[in-house]
Amino acid sequence: MVVETMTLEVAQASAEGFKAIGAGLAVGITGMATAIAQFAIGPAAVGATAENKETFGLVLILTVIPETIVIFGLVVALLLLF
């Protein structure tokens, strides 16, 4: 078994590595999730603004709502790394 041959240094190093992978996944996957959500909202928002400029404030809000997902991912990543 691999675990039996693992020294303390190796274990610590792999812990570090897994942290980095976890942080990467946290940002990457949440980023994709945000992108998928904004993919639908963005064009609709642009269309609405083109029709009526006054909706800009409202559609900006609607567009950036999914951004919260990736920010959470980023926060989790930062907490993992530091």
Residues found near other proteins in the complex (CB under 8 A) = 54, 56-57, 60-61, 64-65, 67-68, 71-72, 74-75, 78-79, 81-82
Query: Within the chain, where are the H helices?
Result: 2-5, 8-51, 56-64, 67-81
Residue closer to other proteins (CB basis): 5 or 53: 53
CB of 64 to other proteins, least distance (A): 5
CA distance 33 to 47: 22
Residue closer to other proteins (CB basis): 41 or 74: 74
Show Cβ contacts of residue 26 under 8 Å, excluding neighbours closer than 6 positions. 73, 74, 76, 77, 80
CB of 28 to other proteins, least distance (A): 14
CB of 40 to other proteins, least distance (A): 18
